[in-house]
Amino acid sequence: MITGSLVALITPFYEDGSVNYSKMEELVEWHIEQESDALVVLGTTGEAPALTETEKDKIVTTAVRASDGRIPVIAGSGSNNTLEAKEQSLRYQEIGADGLLVITPYYNKTNKSGMLKHFYEIADAVSIPVILYNVPGRTGCAISCDAVRELSRHENIAGIKEASGDISYVSKISQYISESFVIYSGNDDMIIPIMSLGGAGVISVLANILPRETHLMVKTFLNGDIKTARELQLRYLDFINALFIETNPIPIKEAMNRAGFSVGGYRLPLYEMETVTRINLMDTMRRVGFAV
Q: Check 21, 133, 169, 236 and give the catalytic one.
A: 133
Mean pLDDT of the region 253-264: 97
Mean pLDDT of the region 174-195: 97
Q: For 181-241, give the DSSP string.
A: BEEEES-GGGHHHHHTTT--EEEESGGGT-HHHHHHHHHHHHTT-HHHHHHHHHHTHHHHH
Q: Which of 237, 226, 200 is nearest to 1 (CA)?
A: 200
Q: Check 56, 86, 161, 219 and give the catalytic one.
A: 161
Strand-pairing partners, residue 74, are: 40, 99
Asked if omega into 136 is within 30° of 0 (cis), the reply is no
Domains in the chain, ordered, with CATH?
4-225 (3.20.20.70)
Catalytic: 184? no
Q: Which pTM does this prediction carry?
A: 0.95
CA dist 48 and 45 (Å) reads: 8
CA dist 165 and 155 (Å) reads: 27
pLDDT tens string 215-256: 999 999 999 999 999 999 999 999 999 999 999 999 999 999
pLDDT tens string 13-58: 999 999 999 999 999 999 999 999 999 999 999 999 999 999 999 9
Catalytic: 120? no
Q: What is the pLDDT of residue 204?
A: 98
SS3 131: strand
Q: For 160-173, give the DSSP string.
A: EEE-S--HHHHHHH
265: how many CB neighbours lie within 10 A of its CB? 17
In the chain, pLDDT over 70 holds for what percent of residues?
100
